[in-house]
């Protein structure tokens, strides 16, 4: 990478950090650079301390960096909290230079954000000034900056746009010619891909999968998925409905799916807890439904705006007794988009619930897509209608079959009556308590697991024949990938294994991936190393150690590198 | 009128002989027959309980879901296909106990389904605990010293939230109930009938005798269905005399009419337009 | 009167400057001070939301539980110790959305707690979705084409279920609200105050100006608190003018008085009698 | 065993099978015999087919038998369903002798139940007649039978009692001198123990543990626990309250526990699903609470009146993220009583939720206690009060400590203010989002796991040095025990390992118990062998096979014997 800069913008909630970050990100994106933007905010609307961290590069970036090169401190607290993370040669843009005589004060570039904003037309433009200063430090081309400001404020009144153009210029002038080691020569390329958040990638995947009913109850960090999707209600055959609670949300999705359309819901752990009984209902009634669980630290309310990977075993085993389900944990924007399309497809193909397991870090981070996204030409619905039946009046919703999958008709669509119950039932769908029906239906459902297992992709592998492997899942992918690259640069024989297809557990490929190495470490955002437990349960292979973190913050590559070395030096 | 026997099926009924649910079942069949809704063009959705087994006992499409959760399922099904008439069968425990929050939401949404509450004032299927409509002090094995809560008042509740079709039926008056159900199905919006239903096994208080002595048909010349205050007073009276019939009706905008997307026809019938999605992606 | 500063704590407040919750907080402190209830002798129970953070911002015992579930927690705590005054703080989403079923049950039980609903008609903490009391058509990021449900009507709801103490307060009238809270705490039984609370961040409709123009103090000479019909009419009127004050009050039997076991004093203070249990075992 | 008879009474729900069974059981119990009575009924109130099966012996019995010696058929359907299970020499008491010319018709003893009942005073006494006939077949002493009838109908009017005495005599006369291989000589002993159901043993354990608030929402097969407990509300400081739903039930119990008293709830899988979020709340707020989950087949409504052991992984991992909890699966009446006392004790000692995992088979079966039950003299509450604090005004509910357990005070009990939140928090109990507080509190909670693990008993072991071990948990104990005894009688080198302490998993004792054998098979009422998975995950040891059953019926020893032999013959 020729360019690799990390910019952190910090301040109180309500100070407009988001605007600074968005402007910076847009400029970089338009210049054809790659980006990874992470959001860190508290569970409050005003005050406290929030920050956005942008890593900017000319090559794809998959993780946040450990050090900050440019810190934009919209208040003094930001300086106090982040100055220590400054890389050597890093600079701090802030309002007061008297930064307490600390060592870091030397790195401060004094920019009178508020004064300048007032001069430009009002205090509200403080963040535009800050954005201007930061962009100038990085050497962003003037025309591009102007273009971005124009499109950002284009919808507002003319004076707003003009004032912001003034403000951005004032910010730039304030730091003109300041020395900065990460001032770089900007490329003039097309955008490398689309820039968006994980949450939006999931929503777009749902749209591309022809999802028509999405019910939800607001819960961070899942809300944005369906809020974004709701914006498409006017243009697509789609209803996004806020439910009275999460129990209603999943039952509504089940009702819609039974009624004949693709349906989903999205929530976080607390809401998922409330959906558990409904998940079982989807299981026994064999109703396809997609449930996104965006993880955050718990239990209970925990840390509502932070990240975690603590729900792995929970979602695999949620609900009384047993029934087939899929669990996927997409790792990138591209994979998230594809996973949604695949989830709706597999949900209908096997008539099972599908759980998509993401997390706050994934949902709230912005990055750049790598692949061109394409929409399925046709949606295969796996439905039957009267025409497919010798005698619609004797249609059996739960007929036994070789594959365990029964013909699924839609109520009211023809002469076949569709009868479904959450109790044990006959092939017709009527209540039954006989041993034959119970065993028959359980066996029928479990048979599906065999075929479902064949749909599972093995883990992704990076330098799989290394002596030591780091094994991870979901959004921790990027961090481990970067850690492996750093370790290998230092000549350590380390590779990695990344799971995104979780359940039915891909036992054979997991065995293949893990049985060759001398040792492996799991890397996860939970305390007990749940993936490690899952691997042992299914393969018998035991991890030699676990790099775990559960403080609610995303892992950093440096941490993984350090802990891996510690292990290699026998320190585990 | 369709032959009512079209709605019969030969699945073994599982209710107790003499149960008030039989009256409700007959009223539903008769209402569907009168309205010429063929069995395959109606959807019954229910929770869990004796009442919630109803759909199994007639010819129809059905979804017999979870205790308390029939209304959200119905809401989803309604969104998928707003052309298919939906009847929701719930017990009093189902609807006013476990499912109370969904009832409030269904009222607020004004979902265009017909809700039939088989109100036997007891938990039948779980063998006789006090239900939300059981009288204060109603004593059962689970409440040996009497129920501690005041009974829920379903009709005042619905009135207070502006529900547009509110009625009370009685399992002992099948024809009357059938006519109410027909009106409810025809009503565009959320229609709700609280049905006095006798449980011969677990409710020794609210028996046929109890209701036969008290129940009277609302006289439409004395109580006009658009008289909200009159309706409220009627339904807050004690139980010396219990009016059955259409208690309140007004015009409202049903849920599916509030959603622009649905103007183009049921979601289920719409087609998928990959080009439109691709355009969204390209525009990002 | 206790010095109100006794209820202050130095835990950093996390609400937005100008939030209506500050008015509610001050009213609570002032009410406790007026009633000489020391901080360690009062228990605040809350759900999840901005409103539900209230207990952190004053000196008291508290249990800040799950979204929607404050009332069951309060019921349990009440059963454990019916001598300790309990205030329940919930948001409108908390209480009328997620927690709707528990509200119905609390009314039926008549649990002797004071329920304060910080009704800002929006989901504050999750950044501005329509809440159950949001107006039909209220538009937000999550409801870009407007809220599809009719608003819940909390006071008519409470009236319809026979609640014995029903009031409406306004965060902009702190002294008035404090007096209402005092009366509510003194009331033996379930007392509920729906508090008009301004959210300066996410509700651009129901602002201070909005309420200042419309809110008026109930004139006790014109509306008697025991006039149920009057109360119902008052609270079903449109929003041109919004009365605040004690809307309805009647005598009721509080939950803990309905339970014989509790006649011998709070459960927490009772002693364990192993011999009595052994006698039960021996008698089997 | 000199005496070992199985009597099955079958008929439609509402025909009074229960009365016949109760009378028989009471007579046997009073005579000092041992008993195991299982109940099989449908999810309906009238009609269908139900039966009660009594196994009567002069020695303790722990499982139902495979064959029926005496079948009491109150209707024809019972004959059709059960006649095939008749042991050689077995007899059938029923009304019509024309049993369709089937082979089994030969074994019918025609008793005109209804006619005789009418003669005795009314059709309603049909079941008393049947009881009389059955008791006579078994040779029960007349005085004892009369005594039992007197105490059973003693509370009713004099004519009821007299008619029933007549009816019982008529039943006896009707079969007098009928040949029956299992007619036995009745002992004249004191009752061997108390006769009661699993549900009642749990309730009595709660009473003995000083449980003061029990909240529940009715759900089979848990309802009976708290319904039985409710009967003690007038004599003890106890409130049993029916909640509006299961979410309320667990939150009410949490509120009561926080408020200062011991509290519990009980439900089955569907209700437990709804309690999951509350369970996490108990976890993060460190509020002691005991939750009984009485398993039945699922998912969703499944088979409401049947049995299963399908919730093992579910309850261990229920709720988002991780927190310490105990899971116990008592196997016998005695252990159930003790488990409740122990659960309340440990819940308070460690300030954690405790899950007691039973099932329909356990809850609804009647048997005889083996040990004398005694009530703790004193209840240790592990509470602190002002007196224990240097400065009550600075009391910290979540103070860090060596053991991870913090001082627990009760709100309103003194000057200390008790502050609790389901969010991450400071030691004081205030909201916090800092890394230090998050890690501090997670570590504090997880520390408790170490001590909790020390509280766990290893599995119970029967012939542990056998070549083959059968490994099971919970109520399947008795069946496996009997199967092992039978297998050993046939000289098979088979032993067994019985888990009742499930979580934290007793890894070391499990290793000890299982690493010596040549092979082991798990025996469970679920499809995937969850205990097998748990053992492999924690010990690395993999079962050589699994005997599973998921039809909702209790396992039978004969089935276990047959499947074990099949395995030994290489047929697995
Ligand atoms: C979540 C859940 N909780 C509890 C139950 C057990 N349950 C089944 S039916 C029922 C109540 C039945 O009462 P009601 O709804 O009035 O119907 P009825 O049988 O009286 O018609 C209950 C509590 C359940 N199936 N699911
Ligand atoms: C089970 C569950 N669902 C959703 C959430 C997310 N959540 C937190 S606060 C809140 C709503 C807040 O609205 P309200 O209750 O009106 O309180 P306010 O913030 O407006 O005071 C929601 C949905 C949660 N914490 N738990
Ligand atoms: S228990 Fe009651 S409600 Fe249920 S079928 Fe029997 S009589 Fe009807
Ligand atoms: S978001 Fe609204 S309710 Fe929440 S603190 Fe801010 S102003 Fe108050
Ligand atoms: Mg009922
Ligand atoms: Mg609110």
Identify whether A380 is part of a domain.
no
The best mutation among C12, C16, C56, C208 to test binding of ligand 4, ranked by most ligand atoms within 8 Å of the C-beta, falls on C16
A245 in the same domain as A363: yes
In the predicted structure, residue A98 carries a pLDDT above the cut 70: no
* Residue in B16, B132, B141 closest to D227 by CB: B141
Protein residues near ligand 5, an ion, with CB under 5 A: B 91-92, 120, 124, 131
Closest-CA residue to B28 (of B184, B225, B168, B219): B184
For chain C, helix, strand, coil in percent to 5 are: 40, 15, 45
How high is the pLDDT of residue C238? 86
- Is C49's pLDDT higher than 60? yes
CATH of residue A38's domain is 3.40.920.10
Domain range holding A47?
A: 4-175
Asked if the C-beta of C224 comes within 8 angstroms of chain A's C-beta atoms, the answer is: no
In this complex, do B14 and D48 lie within 8 Å of one another by their Cβ atoms? yes
Query: How far is the C-alpha of A405 from the C-alpha of A74, rounded, in Å?
Result: 58
- How many angstroms does the Cα of residue D281 sit away from the middle of ligand 4? 25
A84 contacts in chain D (CB < 8 Å): none
- The span from the CA of C114 to the CA of B42, in Å, is 46
Q: What local confidence, expressed as pLDDT, does residue C102 receive?
A: 98
A140 pLDDT tier (thresholds 50, 70, 90): very high
Substitution site in C14, C17, C19 for ligand 4 pocket (most atoms within 8 Å of beta carbon): C19
Is the domain of A474 the same as that of A556?
yes
Residues A561 and A432 in one domain: no
Calculate how far, in angstroms, residue C94's C-alpha sits from the geometric centre of ligand 2: 6
**pLDDT > 70 in chain C, percent:** 100
- The minimum CA-CA distance between B225 and chain D, rounded to whole Å, is 32
CB spacing of C264 vs D431 below 8 angstroms = no
Distance between Cα C94 and ligand 6 center (Å): 7
Residue in this structure with the two tokens 């360019």, named with its chain if needed: A3
> What is the pLDDT at residue A101?
66
Ligand 2 midpoint to CA C238 (Å): 27
Element spanning C29, H or E: helix C21-34
Is the pLDDT at A166 greater than 90? The verdict is yes
In sequence order, the 6+-apart residues with CB closer than 8 A to the CB of A158 are none
Give the closest residue (by CA) to ligand 4 atom 5.
C15
* D9/D151 same-domain check: yes
The alpha carbon of A360 and the centre of ligand 4 are apart by a number of angstroms equal to 22
Task: Tell me how far the alpha carbon of residue C184 lies from the centroid of ligand 6, in angstroms.
Answer: 21
The single residue listed with the structure tokens 């100055």 is A83
- Regarding beta strands A211-216 and A419-421, do their DSSP bridges make them parallel or antiparallel, or are they unpaired? unpaired
Calculate the dihedral angle through the C-alpha atoms of A251, A254, A259, A260, rounding to the nearest 10 degrees. Answer: 150
Closest Cα to atom 7 of ligand 2: A219
pLDDT recorded at residue B220: 85
User: Pick from D46, D231, D233: which is nearest to B16 by CB?
Assistant: D46
Ligand 4 shell residues, CB under 6 Å: A 45; C 15-16, 19, 21, 50, 120, 124, 199-202
What mean pLDDT value characterizes chain A? 96
Contact A412 B81 (CB under 8 A): yes
Atom of ligand 3 nearest to the CA of B202: 2
The answer to whether residue D189 is domain-embedded is: no
A435-494 residues touching B, CB cutoff 8 A: none
Pair D170, D55 in one domain = yes
**pLDDT value at residue D99:** 62
Whether pLDDT at A381 is above 90: yes
* Residue of A13, A227, A299 to mutate, testing the C interface (most C Cβ within 10 Å of its Cβ): A227
Contact B15 D46 (CB under 8 A): yes
The residue in chain C having the minimum alpha-carbon distance to the alpha carbon of residue A299 is C66
Say yes or no: A55 and A167 in one domain: yes
* A116-125, A191-200, C15-24: range with lowest mean pLDDT: A116-125
CA C106, C108, C114, C119 dihedral sign is positive
**pLDDT lower than 50: segments of chain D:** 572
Ligand closest to CA C95: 2
Distance of CA A331 to the CA centre of its chain: 7
Residue holding tokens 């607020």? B108
User: Angle at CA D332, nearest 5°, toward D518 and D264?
Assistant: 120
Q: Minimal Cα distance from A304: which residue of D?
A: D423
CB spacing of C40 vs D249 below 8 angstroms:
no
pLDDT above 70 covers what percent of chain A? 99
pLDDT for residue D463: 98
Yes or no: say if B59 and A417 are a contact pair by the CB < 8 Å rule. yes
- The structure tokens listed for B263 are 């103007």
Q: Is D261 on the interface with C (CB under 8 A)?
A: yes
Selected residue of A220, A273, A548 to mutate for chain D interface (largest D Cβ count, 10 A): A273
Same domain (yes/no): A169, A39? yes
Q: How far apart are CA D399 and CA A325, in angstroms?
A: 41
In this predicted model, what pLDDT tens digit does every residue of B175-229 receive, in sequence order? 999 999 999 999 999 999 999 999 999 999 999 999 999 999 999 889 999 999 9
> What is the β-pairing status of strands A34-40 and A366-368?
antiparallel
Is C271 a residue whose pLDDT tops 70?
Answer: yes
Partners of A377 on chain B (C-beta within 8 Å) are 274
Does the beta carbon of B25 sit less than 6 angstroms from any atom of ligand 3?
no
Yes or no, beta carbons of D46 and B17 under 8 Å apart: yes
Number of domains in chain D: 4
A226 and A287 in a common domain:
yes
Q: Is D510 helix (H, G, I), strand (E, B) or coil?
A: helix
Query: What is the pLDDT averaged over residues B20-24?
Result: 98
The DSSP line for D113-153 is HHHHHHHHT-GGGHHHHHHHHHHHHHT--HHHHHHHHHHHH
How far apart (Å, rounded) are the C-alpha atoms in residues D58 and D35? Answer: 9
Q: A538 and A482, same structural domain?
A: yes
Bridge partner list, D8 = D53, D71
Please state the CATH superfamily assignment of the domain spanning residues C4-257 in this structure: Thiamin diphosphate (ThDP)-binding fold, Pyr/PP domains (3.40.50.970)
Q: Which ligand is nearest to the CA of C19?
A: 4
Using CB atoms, pick whichever of B43, B270, B274 lies closest to residue A376.
Answer: B274
Q: What's the gap in Å between D315 CA and the centre of ligand 5? A: 30
* A468 and A440 in a common domain: no
Ligand 3 centre to CA of B128 (Å) is 9
Is the pLDDT at A572 greater than 60? The verdict is no
Q: Kindly state whether residue A534 falls inside one of the protein's structural domains.
A: yes
pLDDT in tens, C84-133: 999 999 999 999 999 999 999 999 999 999 999 999 999 999 999 999 99
CA distance A488 to chain B (A): 36
Chain D residue with minimum CA distance to B47: D301
Give pLDDT, residue A100.
Answer: 62
Q: What is the ipTM of this complex?
A: 0.98
What is the CATH classification number for the domain harbouring D231? 3.40.50.970
pLDDT number for residue B238 = 85
Does the pLDDT of residue A97 top 70, yes or no?
A: no
Contact C201 A45 (CB under 8 A): yes
Residues D402 and D360 in one domain: no
State the Cα–Cα distance between residues A38 and B60, nearest whole angstrom: 53
Give the nearest ligand 4 atom to C200 CA.
7
Q: Are C80 and D256 in contact (CB under 8 A)?
A: yes
Show which of residues 10-69 on chain B sit within 8 Å of chain C, judged by CB atoms: none
- The yes-or-no verdict on residue A430 having pLDDT over 90 is yes
Residue-wise pLDDT for C162-214, tens only, equals 999 999 999 999 999 999 999 999 999 999 999 999 999 999 999 999 999 99
A420 pLDDT more than 70:
yes
Residues of C in contact with A219 (CB under 8 A): 126
Tokens in use for B210? 């109890």
- Nearest beta carbon to residue D299 from set A321, A439, A542: A321
D331-382 pLDDT tens trace:
999 999 999 999 999 999 999 999 999 999 999 999 999 999 999 999 999 9
Same-domain pairing of D410 and D510 = no
| Ligand 3 contacts CB of residue B204 (under 6 A) | no
- β-pairing, D262-267 with D289-295? parallel
């Amino acid at each position: 990478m020729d360019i690799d800069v990390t910019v952190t913008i910090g301040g109180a909630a309500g100070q407009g950090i988001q605007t600074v970050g968005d402007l910076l990100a847009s400029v970089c994106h338009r210049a054809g650079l790659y980006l990874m933007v992470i959001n860190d905010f508290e569970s409050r609307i005003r005050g406290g301390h929030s920050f956005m961290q942008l890593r900017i590069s000319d090559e794809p970036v998959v993780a946040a960096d450990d050090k900050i090169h440019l810190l934009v401190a919209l208040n003094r607290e930001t300086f106090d909290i982040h100055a220590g993370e400054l890389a050597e040669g890093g600079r701090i843009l802030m309002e007061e230079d008297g930064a307490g005589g600390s060592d870091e004060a030397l790195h401060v570039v004094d920019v009178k954000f508020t004064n300048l904003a007032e001069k430009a037309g009002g205090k509200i433009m403080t963040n535009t000034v800050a954005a201007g200063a930061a962009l100038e430090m990085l050497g962003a081309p003037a025309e591009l900056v102007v273009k971005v400001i124009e499109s950002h404020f284009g919808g507002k009144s003319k004076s707003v746009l003009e004032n912001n153009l003034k403000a951005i210029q004032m910010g730039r002038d304030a730091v003109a010619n300041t020395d900065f080691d990460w001032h770089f020569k900007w490329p003039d390329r097309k955008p490398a891909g689309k820039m968006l958040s994980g949450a939006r990638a999931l929503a777009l995947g749902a749209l591309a999968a022809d999802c028509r009913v999405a019910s939800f109850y607001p819960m961070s960090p899942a809300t944005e998925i369906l809020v974004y999707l709701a914006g498409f209600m006017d243009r697509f055959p789609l209803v996004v409905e806020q439910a009275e609670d999460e129990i209603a949300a999943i039952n509504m999705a089940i009702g819609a799916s039974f009624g004949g359309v693709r349906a989903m819901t999205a929530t976080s752990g607390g809401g998922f807890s409330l959906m558990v009984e409904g998940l079982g209902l989807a299981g026994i009634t064999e109703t396809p439904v997609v449930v996104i669980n965006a993880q955050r630290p718990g239990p209970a309310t925990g840390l509502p705006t932070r990240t975690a990977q603590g729900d792995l075993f929970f979602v695999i085993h949620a609900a009384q007794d047993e029934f087939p389900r899929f669990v996927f944990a997409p790792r990138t924007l591209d994979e998230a988009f594809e996973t949604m399309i695949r989830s709706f497809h597999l949900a209908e193909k096997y008539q099972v619930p599908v759980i998509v397991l993401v997390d706050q870090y994934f949902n709230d981070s912005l990055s750049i897509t790598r692949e061109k996204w394409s929409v399925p030409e046709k949606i295969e619905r796996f439905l039957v209608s009267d025409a497919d039946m010798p005698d619609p009046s004797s249609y059996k919703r739960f007929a036994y079959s070789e594959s365990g999958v029964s013909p699924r008709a839609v109520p009211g669509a023809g002469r076949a009556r569709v009868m479904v119950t959450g109790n044990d039932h006959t092939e017709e769908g009527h209540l039954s308590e006989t041993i034959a029906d119970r065993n028959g239906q359980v066996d029928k459902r479990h048979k599906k697991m065999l075929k479902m297992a064949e749909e599972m992709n093995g883990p992704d592998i990076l330098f799989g024949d290394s002596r030591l492997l780091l094994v991870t899942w979901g959004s921790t992918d990027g961090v481990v990938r970067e850690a492996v690259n750093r370790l290998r640069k230092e000549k350590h024989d380390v590779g990695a294994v990344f799971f995104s297809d979780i359940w039915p557990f891909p036992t054979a490929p997991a065995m293949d991936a893990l049985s060759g190495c001398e040792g492996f470490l799991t890397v996860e955002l939970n305390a007990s190393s749940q993936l490690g437990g899952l691997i042992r349960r299914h393969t018998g292979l035991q991890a030699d150690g676990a790099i775990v973190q559960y403080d609610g913050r995303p892992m950093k590559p440096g941490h993984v590198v350090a802990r891996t070395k510690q292990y290699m030096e026998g320190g585990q | 009128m369709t032959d009512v026997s079209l709605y019969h099926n030969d699945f073994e009924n599982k209710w107790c002989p003499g149960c008030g649910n039989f009256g409700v079942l007959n009223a539903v069949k008769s209402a569907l027959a009168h309205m010429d809704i063929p069995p395959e063009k109606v959807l019954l959705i229910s929770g869990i309980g004796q009442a919630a087994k109803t759909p199994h006992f007639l010819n129809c499409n059905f979804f017999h879901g979870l205790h308390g959760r029939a209304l959200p399922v119905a809401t989803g099904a309604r969104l998928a296909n707003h052309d298919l008439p939906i009847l929701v069968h719930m017990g009093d425990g189902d609807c006013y106990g476990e499912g109370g929050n969904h009832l409030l939401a269904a009222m607020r949404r004004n979902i265009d389904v017909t809700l039939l509450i088989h109100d036997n004032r007891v938990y039948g299927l779980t063998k006789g605990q006090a239900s939300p409509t059981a009288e204060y002090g109603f004593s059962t094995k689970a409440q040996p010293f009497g129920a501690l809560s005041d009974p829920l008042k379903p009709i005042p509740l619905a009135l207070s939230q502006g529900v547009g079709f509110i009625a009370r039926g009685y399992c002992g008056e099948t024809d009357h109930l059938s006519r109410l159900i027909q009106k409810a199905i025809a009503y565009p919006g959320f229609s709700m009938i609280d049905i006095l239903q006798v449980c011969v096994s677990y409710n020794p208080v609210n028996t046929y005798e109890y209701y036969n002595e008290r129940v009277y048909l609302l006289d439409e010349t004395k109580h006009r269905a658009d008289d909200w205050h009159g309706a409220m007073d009627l339904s807050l009276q004690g139980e010396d005399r219990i009016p059955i019939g259409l208690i309140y009706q007004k015009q409202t905008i049903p849920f599916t009419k509030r959603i622009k997307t649905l103007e183009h026809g049921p979601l289920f019938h719409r087609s998928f337009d990959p080009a439109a999605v691709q355009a969204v992606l390209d525009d990002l």
